Amino acid sequence: MPSCPDPQAEGAPAPPTAERPASFLLLLPGVPALLFALVTWQIVADGPLLHVDERVSRALVHPDRASELLSDLGGAAVAVPVLALVAGWVARLGRAAGTRRWWLPPLSAAVLLALVPAIVVPLKEWTARHGTPAVPPGVGYYPSGHTATAAIAYGSATLLLLPLLRSARSRRLLVAGCLALVLGVSFGLVRHGYHWPLDVVASWCLCAVLLFALWRFLERVGVTGRPPSWPDPPPPRASPVREVPDR
């Protein structure tokens, strides 16, 4: 019987491997990065996009107590303790379970949050964008620091918690809750007039790249991307059979 030809020996293309989807994932942060570069260029060059931004802001600004409370959720006084509590709890669980490098995910999230002012503050000084008419005159409003703090703090906390959830539904609810919280902060900042809409959009784009990098890092070290191995429940004990006396 003739042997089957070897596809590799015949020069046939190799079958698709798992590396191709991983390579495709690396392209995902490209879109927000390009959008961030475009918006930043418009801010620096005083481009036509700023006029659209100002019209949208005038239509949305209406300072009230609700928008102030929403924007406060993006402050360091709220967002940082939330991430600290989640990171501490995840670290405690990992150490108790004897997980290898249990300290790495919480530390990575903390380092990423510490990088936010190191990135945002120089951008504020460089762009020197003025604020909306609802705030005192001044510059340094681009990008939005509150939006970046909220996105990184709550987003990092979500990435730390995802591997601990057993069902896909609970993980979807957690991600949806995180998105709703960040969007709520963003809306509050624009609604109250603390920031122009493009200030918030730029922070979204910037934080999408940073959170993608954190997710890929945690996935590479094997601490995210899949739920933990939960122990199987013990089998039910069989009830002892009583012998019936022979009568």
With beta carbons less than 8 A apart as the criterion, state whether 129 and 142 touch.
yes
- Residue 240 main-chain phi, psi, to 5 deg: -60, 140
Within 97-221, residue ranges assigned H as helices are 104-127, 145-161, 168-192, 197-220
- Residue from 130, 151, 125, 128 nearest 203 by CA: 151
Task: Say if pTM beats, i.e. exceeds, 0.75.
Answer: yes
Range in 96-105, 111-120, 136-145, 208-217 with the lowest mean pLDDT = 96-105
How many beta carbons lie within 10 A of that of residue 114, not counting itself? 11
Average pLDDT of span 201-215: 97
* Tens digits of residue pLDDT in 178-194: 999 999 999 999 999 99
* Tens digits of residue pLDDT in 71-90: 999 999 999 999 999 999 99
What's the confidence (pLDDT) of residue 229? 43
| Rounded CA separation 92/178 (Å) | 22
